[in-house]
C-alpha cells in the first residue's frame, strides 16, 4: 500500500494519490483503510531523507551537478545531483531521472562563493572527491568548485553547454537593434489583436527564464505569420479581411531577413544541444559536433554561432582522459526541479517548505523492499529533525504569524474601546 501510494504520488501528486486510492477501492467494492494525504507526505519525506543519507559507491566516477532555484522572497534552494560517469546511458541516449540521485538539497539566504566552497567540501567529505563538477555560468558555483582542486585530486569544473549557448545567442542576436524592434512590435501586436477576429494569431507570451523557449516560439510565430501574409487563401486567414491582416500583422514582412537568420541560429542551437544531451563530452566531441551542425549554413551570424559553440566544446574536452565520457548538460537537474514543482503545485506561491524532503524519492519508482529498508533506517523523528534544521520557519508560517498578530492587536484595541 505504501509503495502504491508513493508511486501514484509521483504521477498525480499527494492529494491526487489519496483521492485516486479512494476511487479505486470504492470501484472494487473493497473495504480498506486508506492512507490520508498527511500519511503519504510523511512516507515520502522519510524515503527522501533516507536517500540523502545513503553514501556513494567508492568505485563510482562521481560527477556533481549543482544549481539554485528561487520561488518567493530571498531564499534559494541548492540542489546537488550525483551522476556515475562510469554508468551513463549509452551514446545517443540522454540522462534519465533514474540515472541520477540527489546528494544534497538545502535552502539558504546566502549562496556566495564561500558558502558554496563549504558545500562542495561537505559533499566531497561524504561522497568522495568528484571527478567533475558541472555548473552553469554563475560565478559562485564555478569559483566555489575550485576548492576541490586543493584536495590533491584531478577534479575538473565543466561549464554547462546550454547556458553558454544562451549567452552566445544573446550576444549575437539579443543586442541586434532589428531584433529589439521585433520584440517591441510583438508586444504591441499582442495587445491589439488578442480580443479581435485575429485572436488565434496572437503572439506567444514570453516565459521568464525560458532560454530557447522564447526564441523558438517567437520565431515559429513569425514564420507562420510570414507564410500567412504570402498565402492569402490559407484557411488560417478565413474571416479576416486583407486590410485587417495587413494593418495588424503586415509589419512582419519587413523582418523576413532577420527571421531567416534567427531560424538558422535556432537550428544550430537545437542541433548542438541535442548532440550534447545525447552524446555528452568526450575527446573528439567538438569534431562530431561540427558534423552534427552541418556545413550548409547560409548566414554569417549562424556560422559565427556554430564556430563559437564548437570552440567551446573543444576547450572543454581538453582535460578529459582517453575514452572518458562526462555529462555537459544540466537539463536533467532542471527536470528534477520540475518534479518538485509538479508535486507542490499551487503551494509554490508560498515558498519552499519541508516538502523538499520528498524530492530525492521522486526520481524512480518505489518498491516494497525499498520501503522496508528506508523505514528501518529513517524514522518519523528524523523527518522532524530535518525539518527543524532546514525550515525553522517558512514564508507561510511567517505570513500566518503576521495575520495572527494583527488580529490580536485589533482584538485588544476593540476591547480597550469598549472599556472606555
Q: Please write the tens of the pLDDT for every residue from 88-130.
A: 999 999 999 999 999 999 888 888 999 999 999 999 999 988 9
pLDDT for 166 beyond 80: yes
pLDDT for residue 218: 87
Check whether 406 has a pLDDT greater than 70.
Answer: yes
User: What is the pLDDT at residue 282?
Assistant: 95
What pLDDT, in 10s, does the model give residues 284-318?
999 999 999 988 899 999 999 999 999 999 999 99
- pLDDT, residue 375, reads 95
Answer whether 63's CB lies under 8 Å from 82's CB: yes
pLDDT of res. 348: 58
Measured distance CA(218)–CA(169) in Å, rounded: 14
pLDDT band (50, 70, 90) for residue 392: low
Is the predicted pLDDT of residue 135 greater than 70, yes or no? yes
User: Residue 232, SS3?
Assistant: coil
Does position 355 have pLDDT exceeding 90, yes or no?
Answer: no
Who's near 159: CB < 8 A, 6+ residues apart? 135, 136, 137, 142, 312, 316
- 119 CA to centre of own chain: 21
Mean pLDDT of the chain: 88
- Give residue 414's pLDDT: 86
User: Is 395 a residue whose pLDDT tops 70?
Assistant: no
Q: What is the pLDDT of residue 286?
A: 96
Report the pLDDT value the prediction gives residue 148, as an integer from 0 to 100: 86
Per-residue confidence band for 399, with pLDDT thresholds at 50, 70 and 90: low
pLDDT of residue 152: 66
Count how many residues are written for the chain: 420
Q: Using 50, 70 and 90 to split pLDDT, how confident is the model at 360?
A: very high
Domains of the chain: 51-158+329-364+390-395 (3.30.420.10), 161-328 (no CATH)
pLDDT band at 346, cuts 50/70/90? low
The rounded Cα 249 to chain-centroid distance in angstroms is 34
Residues 6+ positions from 101 with CB-CB distance below 8 Å: 51, 54, 81, 82, 360, 363
Q: What is the mean pLDDT of residues 207-213?
A: 54
Higher confidence at residue 197 or residue 352?
A: 197
Ramachandran sector of residue 152 (left: φ over 0; alpha: ψ -120 to 50; beta: rest): left
Name the least confident of 47-51, 67-71, 169-173, 186-190.
67-71
Q: Are 71 and 352 in contact (CB under 8 A)?
A: yes
pLDDT for 53-83, tens place per residue? 988 776 778 999 998 887 666 678 889 999 9
Which pLDDT value is given to residue 393? 63
- Is 352's pLDDT higher than 90? no
**Model confidence at 173, in pLDDT bands (50, 70, 90)?**
confident
Short-list 100, 53, 110, CA closest to 80 = 100
Residue 45 has pLDDT above 60, yes or no: yes
Q: Residue 416 is placed in which grid cell?
A: 480597550
Q: Is the pLDDT of residue 400 over 60?
A: yes
Amino acid at each position: 500500500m505504501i509503495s502504491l501510494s508513493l508511486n501514484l504520488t509521483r504521477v498525480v501528486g499527494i492529494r491526487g494519490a489519496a483521492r485516486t486510492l479512494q476511487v479505486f477501492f470504492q470501484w472494487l467494492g473493497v473495504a480498506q483503510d486508506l492512507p490520508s494525504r498527511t500519511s503519504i507526505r510523511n512516507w515520502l519525506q522519510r524515503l527522501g531523507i533516507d536517500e540523502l543519507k545513503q553514501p556513494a559507491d567508492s568505485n563510482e566516477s562521481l560527477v556533481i551537478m549543482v544549481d539554485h532555484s528561487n520561488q518567493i522572497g530571498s531564499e534559494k534552494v541548492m540542489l546537488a545531483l550525483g551522476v556515475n560517469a562510469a554508468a551513463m546511458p549509452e551514446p545517443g541516449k540522454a540522462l534519465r531521472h533514474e540515472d541520477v540521485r540527489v546528494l544534497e538539497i538545502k535552502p539558504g539566504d546566502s549562496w556566495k562563493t564561500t558558502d558554496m566552497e563549504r558545500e562542495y567540501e561537505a559533499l566531497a567529505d561524504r561522497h568522495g572527491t568528484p571527478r567533475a563538477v558541472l555548473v552553469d555560468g554563475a560565478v559562485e558555483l564555478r569559483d566555489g568548485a575550485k576548492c576541490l582542486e586543493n584536495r590533491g585530486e584531478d577534479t575538473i569544473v565543466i561549464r554547462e553547454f546550454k547556458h553558454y549557448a544562451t549567452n552566445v545567442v544573446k550576444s549575437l542576436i539579443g543586442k541586434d537593434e532589428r531584433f529589439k524592434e521585433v520584440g517591441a512590435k510583438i508586444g504591441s501586436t499582442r495587445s491589439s489583436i488578442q480580443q479581435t477576429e485575429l485572436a488565434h494569431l496572437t503572439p506567444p507570451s514570453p516565459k521568464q527564464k525560458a532560454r530557447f523557449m522564447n526564441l523558438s516560439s517567437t520565431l515559429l510565430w513569425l514564420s507562420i505569420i510570414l507564410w500567412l501574409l504570402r498565402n492569402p487563401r490559407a484557411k488560417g486567414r478565413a474571416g479576416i479581411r486583407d486590410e485587417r491582416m495587413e494593418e495588424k500583422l503586415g509589419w512582419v514582412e519587413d523582418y523576413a531577413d532577420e527571421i531567416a537568420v534567427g531560424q538558422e541560429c535556432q537550428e544550430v542551437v537545437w542541433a548542438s544541444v541535442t548532440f550534447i544531451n545525447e552524446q555528452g563530452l568526450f575527446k573528439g566531441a567538438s569534431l562530431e559536433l561540427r558534423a552534427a551542425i552541418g556545413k550548409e549554413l547560409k548566414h554569417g551570424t549562424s556560422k559565427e554561432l556554430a564556430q563559437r559553440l564548437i570552440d567551446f566544446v573543444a576547450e572543454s574536452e581538453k582535460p578529459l582522459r582517453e575514452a572518458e565520457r562526462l555529462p555537459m548538460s544540466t537539463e536533467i537537474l532542471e527536470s528534477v526541479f520540475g518534479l518538485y514543482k509538479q508535486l507542490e503545485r499551487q503551494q509554490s506561491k508560498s515558498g519552499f517548505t519541508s516538502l523538499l524532503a520528498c524530492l530525492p524519492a521522486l526520481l524512480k519508482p518505489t518498491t516494497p523492499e525499498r520501503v522496508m529498508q528506508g523505514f528501518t533506517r529513517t524514522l518519523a523523528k528524523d523527518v522532524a529533525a530535518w525539518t527543524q534544521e532546514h525550515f525553522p520557519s517558512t514564508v507561510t508560517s511567517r505570513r500566518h504569524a503576521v495575520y495572527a498578530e494583527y488580529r490580536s492587536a485589533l482584538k485588544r484595541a476593540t476591547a480597550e474601546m469598549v472599556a472606555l
